[in-house]
Structure formats: C-alpha cells, structure tokens
Amino acid sequence: MILAASRVPIVEVTTFGLAKGAVYALLALGLVLIYRTTGVTNFAHWGIGLMGVVFYFLLTSKAGVATPLAAGLAVVTCGFVGALCYRFVFRYVKRTNQLVLILIALGVAQLFTALSAMGFGFASTTILDPWLPISTVSVGSASLRSTQLIAIGAAIGIAMLFLPWFRYSRTGRALRAVAQNREAASLAGIDEHRYSTVAWAIGAALAGLALLLILPHASGERGGVITTADITPFGIYLIPAFGAALVGGLVNLPLAVVGGFVFGIAENALILAPEPWSSLRSTIAAILIVVLLLLHTERFFVARAEQEALET
Amino acid sequence: MTTTHPETIARDPHAAGAALSIEGVTVRFGGITALDGVTMQIQPGEIVGLLGPNGAGKTTLFNAVSGFIKPDAGTVRLDGAEIQSMFPYERVTAGLGRTFQHVKLFRGLTVYENLLAAQHRHLSASPFAAMLRLPSWRRDEDEARELVERMLDTVNLRPWSQRYPWELSYGTLRFLELASVLSLRPSVLLLDEPATGIQQKEVEQLGPMLRRIRDDTGCAIFLIEHDMGLLMGTSERIYALDFGRVIAEGSPKEVSADPQVLESYLGRTRRAEAAGA
Amino acid sequence: MRSTITAEEAIAEAEAPPAARRLSVRFPSLTRGRVITGGVLLGLGLIPVGVDAARNTTFWEYIGAYIAVWAMLELSVVVVTGYGGLISLMPFSFVGIGCFATGLAVSVWGWPFWLAVPFAALATVPISVAVGAASVRLKGLYLAIATLTFASALGETLFKWEAFTGGQAGHTIDRPKLGPVDFSGGFAFYALTMAVALVLVWMVHGLKSSRAGRAMLAVRDNEREAQALGINSTKTKLTALVIGGALAGVGGAFYLALLGSPAPAGFQSPYVDVSSVLLVVWAVIGGIEAASGAFLGAFALIVQQQVFQGAEKLFVFIGVYAALVLVVFLIFRPGGFVQVVKIQSERIRVNPARGIPETAGLVLFNVIVIWLIIHFGTVATKT
C-alpha cells in the first residue's frame, strides 16, 4: 500500500479490509458449519481450500481450461475433497475426543499442505491466473479494485442466500437437527452421516471459493502469487478466520460472517497507523481472539452448571 | 417437619462438634433457585442419608459443599472451620471426600496407578527430585506403593490391579472410586448415588461395607441414594430435600412416613401423569 | 507374569473390547522394560555413527546430532501434551526463545555456552506462565486456538525485536567448549547432544512415576476427579508447562549450536506453525505419552528426511507420508510407536507362531511403502 502524502486512503484501506474480511467470513462460515454439524474444529480448513487452488492452477496452466470455468470446477472439487475428509477420516472419530480430533485435523492439514506443494510443482513461487474481471472502479476520489468489490459482494451475497436456506430449507433443517443432537436426529430418520458429509462438502467448497477470490488476484492483472508462506498448515488467513468464527462462539453462522468483516477491518485499519503499530496486526487479532475465547468460556461454564442443577 | 426424634432436638445445630455443618446455603442459576437456605448438620461418625426426587438439588448440594459450585449465600463448616471459599482440592486437605454420580476416574491409568494418584495428599517429592531420581523421590515412591498395596487388599481389587478402568465392570469401578477417595483419609465422605448402575448382588454388599468403613476410620458418611433399601437400611438419620429446600429430617422410619416426603415423590408422578407423560 | 486366571478375570477378558479397535484414546504407560528401552534408544542413537564408520564418511554424525536435538524438542511436547493433556500448538516458539536467549548470552554478553543453557531454560518461564494463566480458563480446543494466536503474536513482537534476535540473520555462535574438550568437531558434538538427549529422556521418564507426573496424567484424564482427590489442577498444569517450556528452551540452545545461526523468520507466522505442527505430529507418531516416544518420533522424522533425500523434493513426501501415518496411528494405535512395540512384543510373547510373522509382515509392509515412495519420488522428479 502506497500512502499518498497528501491524502490518507481511508476508502481504499477500508475496502481492502472488507475484502480480506470477506475471505475470513467465507472461511468462518465453513468452520462453523463443520463444527456445528460434526463437532470437528477443522484445523485442516486452510489445507482443504488450498486443494481447490491447486486444482484451479492445474486446470488453467496444464489443461488450458478457461479461467472462470476452472474456478467453478475447482470450488466443486474442493467440496468433494471435504466430503472425502469426512467419509474417510472424521467419521470414525468420536466427537468427544478433543485431543484426537485436533491431532487428526493437524495431520490432515499436514497432508494437504504437502499435496499442495506437490501440486504447485515444488516451486517457491507460483503464478495464478486471475478469473475475475480486473478493473478499477472510481468511487468519489478513491479508486478501488473490482476484485475486492466482487469479493465483498460475493461474501455478502452468499451469506444472504445461505443463511435463510440453512434455516428454512429441508436440507438446512436436517443439518441443524444433526448439529443439535445426533442421536435424536438419527432416530427421527435423518441420516447423520449423509448430512455430515453435506456439511463438510459445503464448508470445504466455501473455503475453496474464499481462497480463489483472493489468491489469484493479489497482484491485479498479473494475477496472484502462491508463495511458501501460503503452503503452510494454517496460512495467514486461518487464524483470523477462527477469530471470526469465535465471534459467534463457533456455532452462530450470521455472527461468523459479521466477525469476518470485523476482523478484516480491525486488522487493516492498522495500516493507517504510524509505525510500529502498523506491523502489529497479528497481535491485535490475537488479543481479540483471546478476549472472545474468554467470553465464550464463561458462558460455557455457566451453562454446564445450570444443566447439572437440573439433573440432580 | 418431623423433628420429634429426641436426639435431633437435643443437638445444637451450631455445635462446634459437628463434622459437617451446612448453614443457609443458597445456590441460584439465572432464574432457577437450586438450593434455598439449606441447613444440615452431620455429626462425626454418623451415617446420614439424603433423599429427594430428581431435580431436588441433591447433587448441587454436594457440589456446593465440595467446592465445585460457589453458593450465593451460606456457610459450610468442616470440623468447625469455614471451607466455603476454598478450592475443591483444599477441602480435601481439610478432610472432605466425595464421589460422583457418573464414575469416570482416570482412563489412561491402570487400577494400580489410579490408586497411586489418589495418594497425592500423602506424598511430597518435587518433580525435580523425580527427574533426578533423588533419594527423597525414592522414599516417596516406596511409601506410595506400600499404601496402595494395603488398599488393594482392603477393597479386594488385587485381581484387577493391572487393568484399565474401561476393562472393569461398573460395580468394580465404583469400588475403585471408593478406594481412591478412602485413600484421602477423609473425616466426612460424600457419596453420590453409590448404588446406581451396579448389580443387585453388589448393592447388598454396599451397606455393610459402608458401615465397616465408618467403624474402621471413624469418618462420617453423607449418602445420596435412590435405592431405598440401601438408604433406609444404612442411614441413621435422613434429610429429605425437594425444590432445594429441606422438607423433612429424622430417622429413616419417620422420614419414610412423612406426608410431605411422600407428596414430593408421588406428587411428581401425579403431575407428570396429568401432563400426559 | 500370571500363571492362573480367576473366573472373574476370564469374564472380564471376554467382555473387554479389543484394544486395537478402541477409537477413543488409550495411552498405555511404559513402566516395564526400562533397561531394554534405554538399550534400544542407545542403539538407535548409535546407528548414524555406525553408518559413518561403515562408509567412512562424516555426514551422518550431523544427522545424529540433528536427531538428538529434535528429540529434546519433542520431549517438551511429551510433557505438555502427552503428560499434561494441554493442547499447545506453539512448542516451536519456546524453542525460539531458548535459541535466541542462548545467542544473546553467548555472542552478545560473552557467556560460556554451559551458563547459557540454564538461562535459555529460564527464559521460557514467563511465556509458560502466561500460557498457564490462559489454561485456567480455556480448556482443550480453546487453549489450542489461544496458543496458535500466541505463537503468531510472539512472531510479530519478540521475534522481530532485533536486540533479542540479533537482526535478520540471527545470532551466530560457535560450537561449545568444556575446558580442554572442544565440541565443535562433528563426532564430539554428536556425542554431546546424544548424551544430553538421552539424559533428558531418562529424566522425563522418571517424572512419569512420581507424584507430580501422576498428577499431570490425572488432571489430563479427568480434571474434576483429580481435584476431588486433592490435586491442585492449576498448579499441576503450570508445572507441566514450565517443565515443557524449559525442555524446549534447552533444546533451543542446542538447536542454535547445531545450526549455527537460525533466522528469526522461522519463528514467525506462518513458518512457526509448520515446525510446531511437525513437532506435535511426530510426537504422536513416536508415542506422545512416553519419553522414549519423543526419541523415536525424532528419529523417525529425521531418518525419513534423509531416506527421502533421494526423492529430492523431501518436504512433500515427508508431509504426505507423515500425515497418512499420523491419521492411521491415531485411529488404530493412538499410543504411537511405543504402543505398537508394546502390543507386538506382547503378541510375540503370548503366541510366537503368530506374533513373529505378523510383526515381520508389518515391518516389511512399511519398508516396501518407503521404497515405493523413494522410487516414484525419484522417477517423478526426473521427468
């Protein structure tokens, strides 16, 4: 970001923050969906999203598929990968075993990181072709990037479609039933494994979309670059995405979306601050996350005590 | 309130001699009052029963006494000393022991190791002494093992000593829990439904076993139990609880005939029937 | 062992679910065969030297030292997560603290290395205490997320503080000396680190059969019950964190000595996560609940790196193979290599006719898989 000496680019920075927030929001949406339905804290979420980007890269650079189509196929493949994750791995682990669940998720994260490195041809940097239309949009005196605006629009649009669907559609209600109480749901004739797979597929697809909205467009017309910093278990996006999910206590979907934008703005507002504050973005996110964790733990304990009182 | 039992009248509720004194304990969660000004006394070496339908607040009372819930009001005294602001582990040092409704114990440890862990109170070696295998650690370990060996024979757990908790029957698991809590040498023992989930044959052994424990160690026992045979047969005195309040107190015969007690059990059933359950 | 079985035991035996199929975590404790274990670890530790001797090279000494240092790092995961049950995703951050504290002491303040090592251990204490404070209120998963954020925050603050890290290149130190003995030679340094690693393994193993160690295991398994038995769970968790942090600090000191000058960038987000995840994953594969598991995990990781050297793009194959191994282990053998060894040796003892072929088959299967990966890895990179 080049700060013009004469004008502070508030609108540009805000838009940039919202665009980042859009990515966090989509990732958080997937995290909450997966956690609610199957009880898994998906530390492998970034890795799964990377698989979508790998597929996109292979389609565009090796198979010569047109980029928007490639993006679409990549998102679908990502969903498929998520479904496989559940089917072959997470389905077999008991929900209550936090340590094992986290360790397995880490293992899967490791697996996808390694596969991604392989998929990107072991290069230290990989160029991605953009698939969104790239142009500059003028709003007042600010010039904004179309890709950022599209990302923001996409996140909001998906949230506005997804949330009501989750609440009112038959599949959505089935998913909520499984999330609430697996035994009761299966007694009511709902196939918990089928719907868990659906939740994972949707969550994974959202992750793939989130990554595809941002990674291929970081450098404007030249596309985007995947560096070694991205081919890591959590990337630099997953931790704030967890923060966003925590705004809703890992279970509330609309709050996760809101949280995503909040984290995006909070992190990037610091760009406008003078040094050394402007490089403390991770620390701000960390503080926010710890506060959220403490807030939710408080409620968790009170709820438990109430429940025990009722069971005496 | 049934207070015609002569010993109940003669006893001063605030006598320093009470092993466990619960005074006006109140616990509220949001809109629910789980315990409302509960007052009870347990004398040293007594076996007292706690009776009440589901939701009456019995386990909540145990949680408040043992420190897992903070009461909104009231005092809890153990051998005269106030303990209501102590952490649960501190109350153990003061002489309180408790069991839980659902037995879980330590699943990564064998029965032997579970009992070793229960000797925590009696041991003192620091982690550094352990890591450097200093003589103080060796002495500690020898003492721990000796204590456990004795306990294994007392509670007849020796055949299971190398097993893990999930390999044991629920009844044996309960005995392990009992052995663990007895290792603490408590002066007051809170038992939360010790007979739940175990076979009738073992339930019948439980009563005499509890009396033997009391006779051998002199500890007072406060017992929550739904199995009326065990409760009435073992308790010397019973408190009845409903909706967080003490509704009756006296000998087993008196309390089982108390109309309010009967109403609290039957009334629940009648209301449930009326609701079309 | 036992020569007769009572009726009760026989019934329990029949009713108990097969150990291998339990999906919930069962961590066996390694209390028998301490001498054998020590011998095995020593033997494994001597392999690199043996290879060097056989091939007349000096390369494998370095690998041996690498294994030893990594074993020290794994021990901290064993104490914090294996014994203490606390899910910390920031072990490598503690390594960094030890590493740069040592660098500061030796290259800036001029301390001898031997004084810097305990200093490195002490330097980790403030952060261990901070994590301990968090662990009082945050359980399990929430603590895991908190440690992730701590790691990235540390990466942005402490590991960017030039006075501490010695700039972008980090501090540079020479290999240590002790009186007349100079450990800068390959073999000498290998012997030093291997000796230290084995001593630390011995110490961490001793911790397990102690009041403090059992308290950690108890709090890990059932915090409420532990408290009901008089264990101060907060103090116990703090003890696990401080000891684990100190082990990582000591390991960090030797890490610096091993690599000469590790860059601070490796301890910043997101790279610190790569190493922390690697540490946790390989501790599980080795056997997270056993001190010897730390050594086995480190050994397996480093040897794999070298075995796959021929596949050139080693990072990838370690990741893929490791992840698959981890997932399989977690589902079938959550106790890692240590549990596999225990189960297989039990099977051989009980029924050698079946046990030996079964074990041989397992070993053979893994050898074949590794060979295939090397073969196709090499082939793939040649195209």
Distance CA C233, CA C85 (A): 12
Output Rg (C-alpha) for chain A, integer angstroms: 20
**Domain spans, chain A:** 10-133+142-310
Cβ contacts of C226 on chain B, cutoff 8 Å: 89, 106, 117
Chains in contact with chain C (at least 3 beta-carbon pairs closer than 8 A): A, B
Taken in order of first residue, the domains within chain B and their CATH numbers are 6-95+185-274 (3.40.50.300), 106-179 (no CATH)
Nearest CA in chain C to B98: C228
- What pLDDT was estimated at residue B268? 63
The torsion angles phi and psi of B77, rounded to 5 degrees, stand at -120, 135
Q: Which residue in C122, C207, C211 has the most chain B C-beta atoms within 10 A of its own C-beta, making it the best mutation to test that interface?
A: C211
Domain A10-133+142-310 falls in which CATH fold? Answer: ABC transporter involved in vitamin B12 uptake, BtuC (1.10.3470)
| Chain segment A268-305, per-residue pLDDT in tens | 887 777 766 667 777 888 888 999 988 887 666 556 65
In this complex, how many residue pairs, one in chain A and one in chain C, have their CB atoms less than 8 Å apart?
A: 153
Residues of C in contact with A232 (CB under 8 A): 270-271, 273-274
State whether the Cα torsion C122-C128-C132-C134 is positive or negative.
positive
C313 touching chain A per CB within 8 A: yes
Q: What percent of chain B has pLDDT over 90?
A: 55
A143 has which bridge partners? A138
| Nearest-by-Cβ selection for C230 from B93, B133, B137 | B93
Contact (CB<8Å) A309/B34: yes
- For residue range A182-204, what is the model confidence (pLDDT) as tens digits? 777 777 877 888 899 999 999 99
Which tens digit of pLDDT belongs to each residue from C341-377?
888 888 888 888 888 888 888 888 877 877 776 666 5
Residue in the structure block whose two tokens are 């037995």: B103
| Residue B255 or residue C15, greater confidence | B255
Subunits with 3+ Cβ pairs within 8 Å of B are A, C
Residues B64 and B38: their CA atoms lie apart, in Å, by 11
CB atoms within 10 A of CB B30: 10
Would you list the domain boundaries of chain C? Answer: 32-300
The partner residue sitting opposite C27, judged by closest CB among B108, B127, B166, is B108
Q: What pLDDT, on the 0 to 100 scale, is given for residue B2?
A: 39
Taking the C-alpha atoms of residue C119 and residue C109, their distance in angstroms, rounded to an integer, is: 12
> What is the distance between the alpha carbons of residues B70 and B65, in angstroms, rounded to a whole number?
9
Q: Are strands B245-250 and A125-128 parallel, antiparallel or unpaired?
A: unpaired
Do A233 and C138 lie within an 8 Å CB cutoff?
Answer: no
Partners of residue B67 in chain C, C-beta under 8 Å: 227
Q: Does B120 contact C233 at a Cβ distance shorter than 8 Å?
A: no
pLDDT confidence of residue C315? 54
B-chain CB neighbours of A308 within 8 Å are: 59-60, 63
Q: How far is C230 from chain B (nearest CA, A)?
A: 4
C149 touches A at CB < 8 Å: yes
Looking only at the bridges linking them, the beta strands covering B47-51 and B220-224 are parallel
Test the C interface: residue of A234, A247, A308 with most C CBs within 10 Å: A234
From first to last of the 312 residues of chain A, give the pLDDT tens digit.
454 444 667 888 888 899 999 999 999 999 999 998 888 999 999 999 999 999 999 998 888 877 888 999 999 999 999 999 999 888 888 766 778 888 889 888 988 988 888 888 777 788 888 888 888 888 777 778 888 888 999 999 999 999 999 989 988 888 888 887 777 777 787 788 889 999 999 999 999 999 999 888 877 667 788 888 888 889 889 999 999 999 988 888 999 999 999 999 988 887 777 766 667 777 888 888 999 988 887 666 556 655 555 554
Contacts of residue B30 in chain A, CB cutoff 8 Å?
302, 306
Chain-chain contact of B60 with A309 (C-beta, under 8 angstroms): yes
Rg of chain B on CA atoms, in Å: 20
Who among B89, B106, B184 is closest to C221 (CB)?
B106
Min Cα–Cα distance to chain C from B61, Å: 15
Cβ atoms of residues C77 and C91 within 8 Å: yes
CB atoms within 10 A of CB A176: 15
Least CB–CB distance from C138: residue in A102, A115, A297? A297
Tell whether C320 is within 8 A of chain A (Cβ).
yes
